[in-house]
Each structure stands twice: as structure tokens, then as C-alpha cells.
Structure 1
Amino acid sequence: MFPWLLLALSVCAHASTGVSPAVSPTVPPRHMDSVLDILDALESPSRGGTPGAAAALGRDLGICSTPGCRAVLGEPPGTLERPPALTPGQWQLLTELLRHDPATPELGAVLAPDGSTVALGPLLAGIEVGLRSGGFGRPLPTLDPPADPLLAVTIAEVLGTSFLLAQGSDNNVTALGPGGCWDDVENPQNYTLRGPPSPVPDPVAIGAMDGVVLGARLARGPLPVAELLRGYYGTGNGSEAGRPPSSYRRRDFGALAGQGRLEKEVEAVLGVLRTLSPTPEFLRDVGTQEVAAVAHRAAREFNERYVECPAIMPRCLWDARPYRGTPALLQPPLGSVFLHHTLEPARPCRTFSACTRAMRDMQRFHQDTRGWDDIGYSFVVGSDGYLYEGRGWHWVGAHTKGYNTQGFGIGIVGDFTATLPDPDTLALVRDELLPCAVRSGHVRPDFTLHGHRQLGHTDCPGNALFQEIQSWPGFQGTRAPELR
């Protein structure tokens, strides 16, 4: 009962809207909840969403537009009509999400309840491979040379292609990123990338990781797709149910496809592309050793950026006010990291909506009550699995009086006088943020870590947290020298 659900979506990737030009349907927001509503409609017999209707639209068709993905999931269908289970607006949303020009990957993205932005194409491709691997739908083909179909359709092909194209360009072209901003997180309609797009901007990377994680789950046993996605992402921006599984995507993807395996699969899928007719132009003059080198670099850089480093929610996603005045530039790499707790809010935030609200409250307090130019911290750590950008990597903060130009101020949301943040939040700072800051050149390898209380008259970051960080790498046990 499950493949028809994905295959109805598969058809949408290459079908016309079925809506007269004179009609202007109400198009739902570009939010994962809208996708869940569509899946619910396709499942509902009362709205005509039967397996038979989906089969009539092409049960065995895929959602791919690239040669390698089509080799796995099949050629796209021709023009098809809107399924009766979907409203014209829902149908238009899906066709816009899945039929966009590859040069505009931002048009294929939706905002998830956890605050991440997810490209729908690689997510659904991974889910379809998972269903077919689990015995639902026709068997997957055997690729030659052997390649993992799940990684091929989600990340390996686009990652290898991106790095080959970047290598062959005369310009300073990047192969990964950038991220972007939504016009309104409550009613997202337009997503704008914050720089020139690569074939693997952040939403594509996130959608691919989610496609791998969920595809692997479905290969072990069936679940209704709507139920699977709802449980993975949580429901709605207003949900306070707690940290969703999607916030662990980097860890879970790394466990399934670490750097070594990803490198192998990028090299393998580029080998598959060589066997297709016609061979893609970007591979014609590339030797096997060069392909191996590209695969190595692609896997290493993807792993460093999207697996080993934590996700940072930009200011636009928590609806930050503008900086007041003219910010002063930092001069990296800096030698110190100063750890704080926010005290207020006193309770850790465990969802995107709770953490964004905490960020706005802190910024309002810092600007309106303290009279500062902006929120004081460089970054704020939620217990939802994400960092939130404050002053960021480039601008002098207002977190540790007398030392703001010497280091970054990291605040963890909550009061940690008597209790600690949960282990995952501690690990996010200790094992991900700090090593990533060193690798990226923002912090010196010999940096020192201080609790705020060592640099001023305060109990921050709380007794429990201060005791905890004394065992962390870089902790400086004595009070820092006064600056003169």
C-alpha cells in the first residue's frame, strides 16, 4: 500500500499542473506540513486517493531528472493530470517543488518543523529507493560498476558532479552551499540563497541526508510515508513535543555513510555515468585517477561541512532585528572561547519555535534593556540540536566584558546552576562546535576555554556547567589575565 503514495508524487515531478491558466489556485505554504497534508490526502479513500488511481498515474515511474538517478528509478513520464485527491493548489505546489530548473535548486525546498530547509527531490528519491529495497514496487536494477542505489539517487551523483564541474571551471566556483533565508517562517513562500548556488546548496545536502536516513529505515520494513515523515520532522512550527529525530540527521547519516563509504560511492556512481549513452560531457576527458581524487575531496569536504560541524540557524530564520550602529570586525583566528548560560530563559529550548522565541527575547532584552547594539552572544546553543547565529564568526560581541575582541561567546539556553544541559547538547558544543571552529580557522588550535565567571563578577555559566567544562579540552583553570 505504500509505493503508490510515492509514485503519485513521482509523477508530479514531470507532469503539467492540470490547471487552466485562467485559474489561480490557493497554493499552500512551502512547508513540510503542506507535503504531509498532500500525503494524507493521497492516502484518504474518502478523497479518491486509492492505490488503483495512483497506479493509473504510473506506479513504476521515478522522480529523477539526472542520468544516474534515472538509471536507478526509471525514465520520467509524460504529461499527466492532477490526481483527484489533490486540490489544484496542492498539485501546483508539488509541480513547482519537483519540476524546477536545476539551476534554481532553492525552488525545490520546503521548511521543516525543526527549522531546517529540505529539498524535496532527494528526500523522496531516497524514500522510493527504500520502499523498493524493502520489496514494495519493482526491484531496483543492478548497477555496473556496483553502486548503492540509495546513495546514488540522493547524494553521490550530485556531489561528484558538483565537484567535477567546480574543478573544471575557470572561475572561483564552489561545490557546496550556500544556505538561505525564508521570507516568513510561519507562512514560507520564497526561499532565497545567500550567495551563488552550487549543485549542492544546503537544502539539497539536508534533503539528501534525510533521504538516506529514511530510505534505510524503509528498507527494513514498511511504514506509511506520511506517518514516517511526521514522526521524523515533528508536526508544525508550534510543536513543543521535544527534539525531533531529524535534528540527529548529521549523526545518523554519518553512521550510514561515513567519509570512506561516501567516497567509494561517489567514485562508483561516476563510473556508472561513464557507461550511459551519451556519456555526460563533464566526464569525457576525465581519467580514473582524477575521478578518484574528486571523489576523495568531495567526500571529505561534505563530511567536514555537513556531518562533523553542527548546523547553524542564521539570523534570518529566528527573525533577528537589525544590528544597531556599525559592527566591529573580529580578527580570526581568535585564542579564546567563553562559555555562558543564558539564565533567562531558564528552561532549555527543545524545539525550533521555542529556541527562536528565546533568541528574540534575548535580543530584545540586550538591545532595549541593556542598550547594546545587538544580542551579545556570538552563538547560542539550543537543546533542539542546533546553534543559533548571534553576532556570528565575524563581528565583535558583547558577552564577556573586556575580552570581546579576544574570543567567541557561546551561550547555552537555560539555567545550569544545579543541573546540566542534556548530554547531546554538551556533546554538540564539546565534540562538534569547538573542533569545527578550529578546522575552519575561526579559533586557534591552542585556544583556551573559560567559563564567564573566570572573567568577571558573575556566577555564569552556573555551578553545574562550570564544573562540567573543567574536563573539556582547552579549559583554562585559572582566571584570565586582566587586559590593559
Structure 2
Amino acid sequence: EVDDTPDIPSLVRALGGCRTPVCHTLLGDPPPTPKPIPELWTLLAHLLHPNTTAAEHGLVLAPDGSTVALAPLFAGIEVGLKRAAGWSGPIDQPYAALDALYAVTITEALGTSFLMARVNGTAALGPDGCWDDVDNPQNFTLLGPPSLVPDAVANGAMDGVLLGTRLAEEPIPLSVLFRRYYGVENGITSGWPHSSRRRRDFGALTAVGKLEEEVAAMLRVLRGLSPTRELLEEFGEEEEAGVAHRAAREFMEVYVECPAIIPRCMWGARPYRGTPKPLSPPLGSIYIHHTFVPSAPCRSFAACARDMRSMQLFHQDTRGWDDIGYSFVVGSDGYLYQGRGWHWVGAHTRGHNTKGYGVGYVGNFSTSLPDPEAIALVRDGLIPCAVRAGWLHQNYTLHGHRQMVNTSCPGDALFQEIQTWHGFKVGTGSCGIAGIGHLAHSDALEMEGWGKCGGCWG
């Protein structure tokens, strides 16, 4: 828990939390170092590592399972507190054209990252990463080559914008703010913390046009600063505008329109047994399941991670499969969980595993539906993003598990729901099952499509 002292943002600044040229210019020189708070000083000094720029430093693991960069988070908070005290922003050109809240949280890093990517051919966004121990996180490792906007920086930036906006409207103690945002002290009946909705809330606050305008304004500022001055020398106005457009569009696609997926290493997956068989995307189908067991939806990162480990254990040790069968699993905590993912053949729909992805909702949805937001994660998020990224054909077909084999999966209620989704195809599977009504076969026995139906294996 963060101490209720007004010097927290100042302490973060003193420890190097705002080191970039634009951030320093907008917020000014760090205020005098506050009277040391021994425990907090030690903690923040360890987290921020002011003498390094490594992407693995300055991060914390939030209770919802997401990793958050502290520098953009606290920079946004400082802007919010300044605005609450009457600060209207910079007055000198070209900085006066910037929205300080976006400048210190995301647009400087975003504009610079896309410039570097344009020149060097490197990634401009991502990747995600993993902690060594989610119960006692000490070391964070990226899952690929770093960019200036890895997932943790994107999370910290979005949180900084959202919390900075909140504080500008009504300053409240930071400990209260953090409990409400990262915990469940928010009156939400499903128990989702606000942080699990950061993508939705940031998208509601920030239109893609607004972000593009802010990146464009930032690029004009960066023309006068080193080393970006050298990068922009060869860029005309049209090219500069193109960078701003691409940066805003891709950021919104990756971090707002697409749902967050918790990687295997974060839920504690055991290794795949044997050698995974590669898929050949784009695939033509997606198959919707419910887990049946666990029968209750998981509503927190801890509960969903526990369910993922339990299902993998059952699939590997009891069924004798190589891994958890699903491609992806949907929690009721605001997140998707990586099973076999986009690249590996799953064990979810017997006879069709190479043809499509299997997506399982945690819970028994025979008589009730998942939360509306959990439904939207797949219907409005995962599937359109899979098409755009080339994992699914544009003319994909969507099926309930019961259409392909003799099973009641994904439950009567969920099956009725998915019939309203784009791409749903009425038809029969290889066993001639029409996919209508509740069949007697047990999901607990069948689980991943290993049910017997009229002599053929579905």
C-alpha cells in the first residue's frame, strides 16, 4: 500500500521517474527531494532503477495479473494533481500544443518508438513478459525483443491517463485511489477491478483521432530534440503525419480494440509434453466451449490461474494429453488466458483441431450466461482481432462444440447466445449432430471432444 503523503509523485521524480526531455520540460525540474520515508524510499528506488533504461525495470505486478510501468503511471498522476491545483499546462511553444497528460504518459514514447521502427525495422509495440514468481515477483523478463512501448509501458500509460484524469476532477488520497482502481473496492458486482477494464476505459476517453493529434504534436516537438531531431531530418510533413497516424492506429488496435491475453508463464503452465504440432493460419473456424468443470466462473487472476493449472493437470495427467486442450480460455475477470495459443494444434474439437481454434469459457453455462463483458471479450475482441492479424480467415465459421461431436457443450444458454454472433454456421458435424437442444452426454467425461457418438469419434 502506498503511503498517504503528498510527496509521493515528488519522490518518484527524485528517483528518476521522469527522465525524458519532454517530460522534464513539461513538469519542470524535480522538486526538492522530500524527507525520506525509509520503507517507501527503498521500495521505489528498487523498482525504478534510475540508472538504467532496461525495459524490465520500474515495473510492478498488479493484483489483476497485469504488469504496470511506474514512470508513466506516476507522471500521469502528477499532471492530474497539478491540474487539480489550477495548472493549465505549458505556455511556451511548441510545448503549448501538447496535452501534458498524454505527453508524459504515452505520446513521447509512442512517437519515438514508431520513428525508431521506421528507421531500424524494429518492433514499435510490445512485447509482454513474465515474472519469476507471481506470488513473490522479483524479476521480470520480456518475451521478445524490446520496444520503447512494451505492454507494461502501455498499461502504465493508460493507467496514468485514467488516474490523472480522475485526480484532476477530484483529488483523493493515492492509497484510496489505488485500492479502488487495482482492487475490488469499486462497487462492481462482478468483482472486476477497474484496472482490468483499462483498455475499454482508455478507449472511451481517448478517440483514435485524439491520440493521432497528440502524437503529431509530439513529433513536431521532437524535431527540436536530440536524438529524434536526426531521425526526423529525412521526414517531410506527409511522412511525419503518416507516422502519427500509424502509431495511433496500431496502439489502439493492439491495446484497446484487442483483449489482453495472460501468457502461459503468468498462470503457471507446466511445459508442453513432447513437440507441439504447428498450425497453418489463417484457419477457417472457431469452436466455442464451456469447461463444465470448473463449473463456476473465475472472477480474479488468482482464481483463473488456479483453474488453468487444474485443467492442464487434468488434461495431461488424467487424459494423457500433451497440454491443456483449449487454444484460449475466457475468465470472468476481464482477461483471456493462453492455452495452446495461435501456433499450436489443440485438443478441443476431435477431428477439427487443425481446422480451427478452441475457445473455452470457464464455468457451466447450461442454464446461465457468462457476464456480458466476458461474452464481448470473444465476440467483439478476440475474433475480430484474430481476423485482422491473419489468424482467422475473414469468412470464418463459428460453431458450438455440440455441433461437431455428441456433447452438451457449450451449454444450452451459451449455445443459444453464440447463434447470434457473426460467423455462426448452422449445420451438422461429422457425427450428424444437429447441435440443437441438450444432449445427455456428460461434458465432464467428454471435455475436449473425445466423446463417442454413434460409432464415430467426434
* TM-score, normalized by the shorter chain, greater than 0.5: yes
Q: Deviations over 1:121-158 (max 9, x none)?
A: 0000011111111117x653235341111000000111
The normalised TM-score by structure 1 is 0.84
Q: What is the 5 A alignment of 1:12-411?
A: 12-13=15-16, 63-76=17-30, 83-87=35-39, 90-100=40-50, 103-135=53-85, 140-142=89-91, 144-145=93-94, 146-169=97-120, 172-234=121-183, 242-275=191-224, 280-411=229-360
Q: C-alpha distance in 1, partners of 2:229/2:274?
A: 51
Shift of 1:220: 0.8
2:130 is paired with a residue of what secondary structure?
strand
Q: C-alpha distance in 2, partners of 1:85/1:2?
A: 10
Shift of 1:92: 3.2
Q: Which amino acid aligns with 2:48?
A: L
Q: Is the 8 A contact 2:184 2:191 kept in 1?
A: no
Structure 1 residues 394 and 417, CA gap change in structure 2 (3 angstroms):
same
Q: Which residue of 2 aligns with 1:9?
A: 12
Q: Which amino acid aligns with 1:329?
A: P
Q: C-alpha distance in 1, partners of 2:228/2:386?
A: 41
Q: Which residue of 2 aligns with 1:56?
A: none
Shift of 1:481: 4.6
Structure 1 residues 322 and 380, CA gap change in structure 2 (3 angstroms):
same
Q: Percent identity?
A: 61
Q: C-alpha distance in 2, partners of 1:229/1:421?
A: 28
Structure 1 residues 70 and 403, CA gap change in structure 2 (3 angstroms):
same
Q: C-alpha distance in 2, partners of 1:412/1:160?
A: 38
Q: C-alpha distance in 2, partners of 1:278/1:364?
A: 51
Structure 1 residues 153 and 466, CA gap change in structure 2 (3 angstroms):
same
Structure 1 residues 469 and 174, CA gap change in structure 2 (3 angstroms):
same
Structure 1 residues 280 and 229, CA gap change in structure 2 (3 angstroms):
farther
Q: Which amino acid aligns with 1:75?
A: D
Q: Deviations over 1:297-350 (max 9, x none)?
A: 111111111111100000000000111111100010000000000111111111
Structure 1 residues 279 and 447, CA gap change in structure 2 (3 angstroms):
closer
Shift of 1:93: 3.0
Q: Is the 8 A contact 2:196 2:335 kept in 1?
A: yes
Structure 2's unaligned 5+ residue stretches are 432-456
Q: Is the 8 A contact 1:159 1:298 kept in 2?
A: yes
Structure 1's unaligned 5+ residue stretches are 14-62
Shift of 1:94: 1.1
Q: C-alpha distance in 2, partners of 1:93/1:158?
A: 25
1:332 is paired with a residue of what secondary structure?
coil
RMSD: 2.2
Q: Is the 8 A contact 1:65 1:76 kept in 2?
A: no
Q: Is the 8 A contact 1:2 1:223 kept in 2?
A: no
Indicate which of 407, 417, 425 corresponds to 1:458.
Answer: 407
Shift of 1:280: 3.7
Q: C-alpha distance in 2, partners of 1:382/1:349?
A: 6
1:110 is paired with a residue of what secondary structure?
strand
